[in-house]
Structure 1
Amino acid sequence: MAESFLSTIWYRVADLRPRLRAHVSAHRHRYRGQPWYVLHDHGAGRIHRFTPGAYMVIGQFDGTRTVDAIWKTLADSYDADAPSQDDVIQLLSTLHQQDLIQYEGAPDVAELLERYNKQSRQIIKQNLTNPVSIRVPLWDPNAFLDRTLPAVGWMLGWFGFALWALVVVAGGATAFLNWGRLTENFADRILATENLLITLVTYPLLKALHELAHGYLAKRRGAEIREMGIMFLVFFPVPYVDASAAAAFRNKWHRAAVSAGGIIVETFAAAVAVMIWANAETGLVSALAFNVVMVGGLSTLVVNGNPLLKFDGYYIFSDIIEIPNLSDRATKFYGHLIQRYVFGARQIRERTATFGERVWFLLYAPSAFVYRMSVMIGIAMLVASKYFIIGVAIALWSVFNAIVKPAFKHIRHVLTSPKLRKVRGRAKAWTFGTVAAVVAAIALIPLPLRTDTEGVVWLPDDAHVRAETSGFVRAVTARQGAEVAPAAPLLELAEPTLESRIEGMEARVREMNMRVIAAEVQDRRTLDVARLELAEAQAELDRERKRRQDLELRAPRAGRFETVMPPDDLPGRFLQEGDLVGYVLPGRATRVRVVVPQDDIALVRAHVEKVELVMAGAAEDRHESRILRAVPSGLNQLPSPALGQAGGGRHVTNPGDRNGVETMEPVFVYDLALPDTLHDAPFGARVLVRFDHGDETIARQGFRRVRQLFLRRFGA
């Protein structure tokens, strides 16, 4: 017998006669084509998965045979494939810690009490470490679900699924058609006091239906549901049902269906609510429907239905791809890679995993971390916009649980783990060296500091041809694309009543002039009044004569004449004063008009070492430029719709602005010189602009962005 099979502490377990506890049942599953054995702890509501090799030992725990006898039988039968004594000891330790086995003889009451106390402490510890998801068990709902299952059974089959799909598709189409109105002023509406009061009622009711759906679907396939209680989810009290017994189902689609029950209920309710909201008048019904849409729809998409968070979507996803405990195993897989290949702990054996599972582990762990942090910080910012202290507390707690706590846990593992005893020096060097390197990189290493924005190749203001008075287009006197001189005639307008009005005003001026002459001779007391009336009549006549002159549109400068519409469509069209008719384009563009966001204006004003331009679609060609002019004050209007999101730009505009130029936050306008190398750039083309501010450390750059965030979002 090989010496590696033996253990120096075997004598401590050799005479034990273990057997599975009465509340533990075994099930054979297949994951990704491989057989696994699942132990279902009905008492604790937990599921434990073991390999066939481990169950080869567990399956012989009948309470009559000793551990030594079981191991010898396996060693004789399987030879080199048999588990070692250390493997058996480790397995016994795991089963004992999870309270899955017991030994011959009277139970150790003190040990049972200690285990109970340990489980209680574990629940309290879990609640303290995750205060946004605290569970308080209250009731055993198994009998209630048995009695009421026949009443809801018709909704749990294919008919119910078809009805759900039909309603959700209709609700999704309604939400799409009303998306702007649905999301308008979102943060203020969802965090308004009256909406929070409504949420206190709708959220628990909707979650009660959500949890009952889990229970009914699990009960329909024979599972026992033994726990129901209250969970404080982001400080809201909501009911929960422990349907973890469904994890013992052999069919993965049955397990996934139980996990999907809550999502189906919430999306169904949200779809019905959005259709009610879209057709209801403003009032209580509309407010209730909007709240259900947000609770049932938004929370499902962002949180509950997303597989990157450990809620229903995660369990559906892990069941479908057949990787139980995906999140924990992915995290441990990264820990194994670090310990084995970075720390050099070659003696640590790799956990059983197929190639496909390893690929999922590599992708899932970092994706889940980034998404979890994004959601928590997003929630914190949303809450902080209305309730600053609470939002900041959530953000700090999220960072602590996601970064600080795991970091200290890793350091403690490096300092104390027996598995790293032979390579502890190297592990310390890597761990503390990495921490020091990261801190140094953040605090000392300078990185390029840039401000990236957009602009357009700017057409001079005097190149616009606009109607200077209202009238009908009589004729287009300049040919489309023709080179014209300054003041050259371009269009002729007609105003049918203008000549008659001028004739009447000329007659009135003559009349007022005669009155002045008469007053000078006959009654000088009325002379001043007569002169004033004459001046008013003359001014009105001059305005109308000016309008007659403006009926002929002339070129404001030399250049190529281009109309905004085909010239043949212009005759007979009525133009209002100020309407754009066309352009007189100069020979080449000379400047770029750039918009700088409010967050970056301080950097641009303080220090710019270099300015670079890149034409959209030609990122490989960079051109140096210089600042010609800066508008000192902020504006709430873009110089061109091409810079707004509706026009393909990066700047957020007001959804209610039809022109697409009204910005949500102030912007600052700069004019840059267009290099000679871009002399053929078309007017109105979008240009990518980079202001180079030199180098600055990550710490200073990060501090500036965080400070700007607090100033912009919270005024703090």
Structure 2
Amino acid sequence: MSDEAYLSTIWYRVARLTPRLRPHVKVSRHRYRGQSWYILYDHATGRIHRFTPAAWMLIGQFDGTRTVDAVWQGVAETHEAEAPSQDDVIQLLSRLHQNDLIQYAASPDIAELLERYNKQSRQLLKQNLTNPVSFRIPMWDPDRFLTRTLPWVRPLTGWVGLVLWALVVVAGLATAAVQWDRFTHNIGDQLLSFHNILVMAVAYPVIKAIHELAHGYIAKSRGGEIREMGIMLLVFFPVPYVDASSAGAFRSKWDRAAVAAGGIFAETFVAALAMLVWAAVEPGILSAVAWNLVIIGGISTVLFNGNPLLKFDGYYVLSDLIESPNLGPRANKYWGWLVQRHAFGARQIKPDPATAGEKAWFLVYAPASYVYRLVIMVGIALYISAHAFVLGVIVALWAIFNALVKPIAKNLRHVVTAPKLRKVRRRAVGLTFGTIAVAVGLALLLPLPLRTDAEGVVWLPDEAWVRARTSGFIADVPVPRGATVARDAPLAVLTEPSLDARLAALDWRAEEVRRRLAALSVTDRAEAEVARLQLEDAVAELARERARGDALTVRAPLSGRFEPALPPASLLGRHVTEGEVIGVVLPPRAGHVRVAVTQQDNVLVRERLTRVELKLAGYLEDRHEVRLIREVPGALDRLPAPALARAAGGRFLTDPGDPEGLRVLNPVFLYDLALPEALAGAAFGTRVTVRFDHGQEPAAAQLWRRARQLLLRHFGA
């Protein structure tokens, strides 16, 4: 090691300082992945700080009497090559000072305490401003309350509680599996109804209070302190919170993970109990509360608390179990080191200590967490905007600022001003801004394929459906199932018992009016004109009834194979109404495909279509170029076939309250495509995948179109 790297030009500023750890800092030794680390727990702030054994060689000797230079000289003499450089010591002192872990003999206590208080207040305000959907308001020190009530709940914080939790959750899951269809029936309408929102407003703080108290009791049962409890505005909704950060000082990773997982266990336990209650009681207020507790406990656990990609309970559980504290910040820092080391060539920058296993976690966790947080924030903003437009726009803009603008600005500033990059500044700046310029240029200028993917079904012609043309009872089905019939062949014979009597009465009425007309034509021409009109009405009504008599014989609309709606024996004697389906005549071959296109893609399909490709379900490797036959005018709120609904494996969301499963939540447009000869034998109703080709367009234009459609759909802007 050269003297230049070992010594520092500003060493004189710290050499004569006599630092010591503050009295409220507690030190403990932990092991992570087989390596020793020293944990400094700050009782005043509840924060945990982790240091390597090499750093502790220095920190442990800061007793307020020895100078920094004396401590460093002693370490340098005893450890030689492993001794830290003077710059390392300065950085360590800076970190200790910034986190208020050390003090000096000349430090004024009162002024220092005021400064610490102001700094903590500023940090809290900064945290709230940078995360407006999770705004914290400290209110109470619950440590005495938890200590007094702990004996009542202590059995639930150990193995007894774990076994009880497992039994209840298994029972709840089994009940949910049996009652799933009933539980999720019309869930969309139920969830957003005004009555349910009121119930949820009461149930949500209750289950969150249980969640937070579980953290506190488990931490207290293992010797921790809980000094802060308050209200957190989670997505602008008030819920209680408990600061259980003291658990970070526990030596056992299982104790730390238990405290972090306490809220997850509590919520799933309450949700499982609520599921059992909901299944046992009759519909009413108790059933509504239980239903909401299941929804809240399930959604918050899966999407938020139990998900390690967000910095909530699941994140800390994962960090403790894999023995990788500060997983998120360290993962981000490791990615930054990779870029600076390999892209910028800053070989003098040392990575933070990490094992090979931790580095593998870093590579996966940082991008996955970033993408998930972005998706969640955008989803929350869109949901809020649907109910409160201005608030939703504010949350969306804040999410964009925190997820995109702020990180980009911070990283660009680092590239331009960071002292660590001074030796490779030109390369770092050139590579960074050059990459941005190339990316923007490619996005604006490089044309990319523009396509729209849709789904459809092999369509049965409308005229193939055999429908009753009048009401009546089916007396005979002369054609067996599957028989080949010609056009106009009789398929069913209906009877109408009163038809013959009506025909006879109408025939006599027409004859009566005809004779009266003959008599009046000689005696009274005015009355004869009235009789002539009456005769026309009588003849027309008689013709209509005779047509009904002819319609009693149901004939084949086209040539093909006859398939009745029910077995012929079941059709006999059945009463059918006009328009009711009796069966279908399947043509010898399929002729076309009916495709459903979403509203946002319809403009491209209508105005910029260049070619169309089709793939049959089950044969996705075979592509067939087809042609567009016709467009069904106007948007529809119903799918052409149930096979296109999400419940049947399709891509369209349908209204859960529609018994047919055809009414879509967003309108669709229908197109008919000619089916190629190679697929003429495809079964009617088979799902197909269709790709509409619209030529090429730069990526920026495509992204702008989708963003504009998103704004129009959710914000009406």
Q: Answer whether TM exceeds 0.5 for this pair.
A: yes
TM-score norm. by structure 1 comes to 0.89
Query: 1:454: Cα distance to partner?
Result: 1.5
Question: Residue 502 of structure 1 contacts residue 541 of structure 1 at CA under 8 Å; is this kept in 2?
Answer: no
Please give the secondary structure, in 2, of the residue aligned with 1:178. Answer: helix
The answer for the alignment partner of 1:654 in structure 2 is 655
Is the deviation greater in 63-72 or in 224-233? 63-72
Report 1:59-208 matches (<5 A): 59-104=60-105, 110=111, 113-169=114-170, 171=172, 173-174=175-176, 176-181=180-185, 183-185=187-189, 188-189=192-193, 192=194, 202-208=203-209
User: 3-state DSSP class of the match of 2:622?
Assistant: coil
8 Å contact from structure 1 (residues 502, 544) kept in 2 = no
Aligned length: 710
Structure 1 residues 70 and 587: alpha-carbon distance in aligned structure 2, compared to 1, 3 A threshold: same
Aligned to 1:410: 411
Q: Which amino acid aligns with 2:588?
A: G
Structure 1 counterpart of 2:511, one-letter code: N
Q: Is 1:675 aligned with 2:673?
A: no
State the partner residue of 2:591: 590
Higher mean Cα deviation, 146-155 or 112-121? Answer: 112-121
**1:414 counterpart SS class:** helix
After TM superposition, the structure 1 stretch with the greater mean CA deviation from structure 2, 531-540 or 353-362, is 531-540
1: distance between equivalents of 2:556 and 2:128?
76
2:504 aligns to what?
506
Is 399-408 or 82-91 further displaced after alignment?
A: 82-91
Residue 493 (structure 1) aligned with residue 466 (structure 2): no
Find the residue that maps to 1:407 and give its secondary structure.
helix
Q: 252-261 or 701-710, which moves further after superposition?
A: 701-710
Give me the whole-angstrom Cα distance separating, in 2, the residues matched to 1:548 and 1:36: 96
User: What is the aligned partner in structure 1 of residue 634 from structure 2?
Assistant: 633
- In structure 1, distance between residues paired with 2:671 and 2:138: 62
Aligned residue for 1:86, secondary structure, equals: helix
Q: For residues 254-282 of structure 1, give each alpha carbon's deviation from its aligned partner in whole angstroms, at most 9, with x where no partner exists.
A: 21221222233333444455666677788
The equivalent of 1:456 in structure 2 is 457
Query: How far did 1:400 drift?
Result: 0.3
Secondary structure at 2:27 match in 1: strand
2:643 is matched with which residue?
642
Counterparts of 1:419 and 1:145, CA distance in 2: 48
Give 2:367's aligned amino acid. P
Counterpart of 1:213?
214
The 5 A counterparts of 1:241-280 are 241-273=242-274
Query: SS state of the match for residue 666, structure 1?
Result: strand
The farther-off stretch of 472-481 and 590-599 is 472-481
Change beyond 3 A, Cα 1:206–1:679: closer
C-alpha deviation, 1:324, in angstroms: 1.0
1:513-532 pair list within 5 angstroms: 513-514=511-512, 517=515
Q: How does 1:203-602 map to 2 (within 5 A)?
A: 203-273=204-274, 292-470=293-471, 476-478=477-479, 480-489=481-490, 491-495=491-495, 498=497, 501-503=499-501, 505-506=503-504, 509-510=507-508, 513-514=511-512, 517=515, 542=543, 545-564=546-565, 575-602=576-603
5+ residue gaps, structure 1, are none
How far has the Cα of 1:347 moved from its partner? Answer: 0.6
What amino acid does structure 1 have at the position aligned with 2:445? L
* Contact 1:471/1:493, CA 8 A, preserved across alignment: no
Question: Retained in 2: the 8 A contact 1:506–1:541?
Answer: no
1:679 to 1:168, Cα distance in 2 relative to 1, 3 A: same
* Deviations 1:464-489, CA, capped at 9 Å, x for gaps: 22333455555543455444322223
- 2: CA distance, partners of 1:553 / 1:501: 16
SS of residue in 1 equivalent to 2:387: coil
- Partner SS state of residue 385, structure 1: helix
Instruction: State the one-letter code of the partner of 1:424.
Output: R
Partner Cα distance (1:703, 1:186) in 2: 35
Deviation at 1:288, TM superposition (A): 5.1
**SS across alignment from 1:448:** strand
**In 2, Cα distance between equivalents of 1:15 and 1:241:** 42
CA shift at 1:122, angstroms?
A: 2.4
Instruction: Check the 8 A contact 1:627/1:670 in 2, yes or no.
Output: yes
CA distance in 1 between partners of 2:376 and 2:316 (Å): 19
In structure 1, distance between residues paired with 2:537 and 2:200: 66
Per-residue CA deviations over 1:617-652 (Å, capped at 9, x if unaligned) read 333322222222112212222222222223322122
In the other structure, the counterpart of 2:707 is 706
Q: SS in structure 1 opposite 2:633?
A: coil
Equivalent residue letter for 1:178:
R
Q: In percent, how many aligned pairs have the same letter?
A: 58
Equivalent-residue separation in structure 2 for 1:352 and 1:208 (angstroms): 38
Q: Is contact 2:459–2:594 with CA below 8 Å preserved after alignment?
A: yes
When residues 605 and 57 of structure 1 are mapped into structure 2, their CA distance, relative to the original with a 3 A threshold, is: same
Residue 47 of structure 1: how far off its partner (Å): 0.7
Closer, same or farther: CA 259–483 of 1 in aligned 2, 3 Å: same
Write out per-residue CA displacement over residues 319-363 of structure 1, whole angstroms, 9 at most, x where no aligned residue.
122211111111111111111111110110121111111111111
Q: C-alpha separation between the residues in 2 aligned to 1:34 and 1:434?
A: 39
Relative to structure 2, which stretch is displaced further, 671-680 or 216-225?
671-680
Conservation of the 8 A alpha-carbon contact between 1:512 and 1:530: no
C-alpha separation between the residues in 2 aligned to 1:595 and 1:362? Answer: 41
| Pairwise CA distance, 1:532 | 7.7
SS at match of 2:443: helix
| Deviation digits for residues 81-101 of structure 1 (CA, Å, limit 9, x no counterpart) | 343443333323222222223
The code of the aligned residue for 2:355 comes to T
* Distance across 2 between alignment mates of 1:225 and 1:514: 103
SS of 2:661's partner is coil
Say whether the 8 Å CA contact 1:589–1:674 is kept in structure 2: yes
Q: CA deviation at 1:514?
A: 4.5
Distance 2:343 2:181 in 1: 53
Tell me if the contact between 1:18 and 1:61 (Cα under 8 Å) persists in the aligned partners.
yes
| Structure 1, 282-291 or 242-251: larger mean CA deviation | 282-291
Q: Distance in 2 between matches of 1:578 and 1:645?
A: 29
Give deviations 1:652-708, integer Å, cap 9, x for gaps.
222222222222222222222223343333322222122222222333322322222
Q: Please say which of residues 340-349 and 237-246 is displaced more in the overlay.
A: 237-246
Distance in 2 separating the partners of 1:567 and 1:41 = 84
Are the counterparts in 1 of residues 510 and 539 from structure 2 also a CA contact under 8 Å?
no
Distance 1:141 1:519, change over 3 A: same
Indicate how the Cα distance of structure 1 residues 269 and 538 shifts in structure 2: closer, same or farther if over 3 A, else same: farther
Which deviates the most, 197-206 or 613-622?
197-206
Once the two structures are overlaid, the 10-residue window that deviates more, 638-647 or 79-88, is: 79-88
**Amino acid of the residue matched to residue 128 of structure 2?**
N
Q: CA deviation at 1:424?
A: 0.5
Structure 1 Cα separation of the partners of residues 517 and 542 of structure 2: 22
Relative distance call for 1:527 and 1:272 in structure 2 (3 A) is farther
Q: Indicate conservation of the 8 Å contact 1:187/1:382, yes or no.
A: no
Is the CA contact (8 Å cut-off) linking 1:213 and 1:262 kept in structure 2? Answer: yes
Q: 1:108: how far off?
A: 6.2
- Three-state SS of the structure 1 residue aligned to 2:180 is helix
1:318 and 1:326 in contact (8 A); partners too: yes
Structure 2 residue runs without a partner (length 5+): none
Which range is displaced more, 124-133 or 58-67? Answer: 58-67
Contact 2:624 2:676 in 1 (8 A): yes
CA distance in 1, matches of 2:531, 2:158: 94
Change (3 A) 1:474 1:197: closer
Deviations 1:234-259 (A, max 9, x none): 33333322110011112222212212
TM-score w.r.t. length of structure 2? 0.89
**What is the rounded CA distance, in whole Å, between the counterparts of 1:357 and 1:413 in structure 2?**
25
* Shift in alpha-carbon separation, 1:671–1:106, aligned structure 2, 3 A: closer
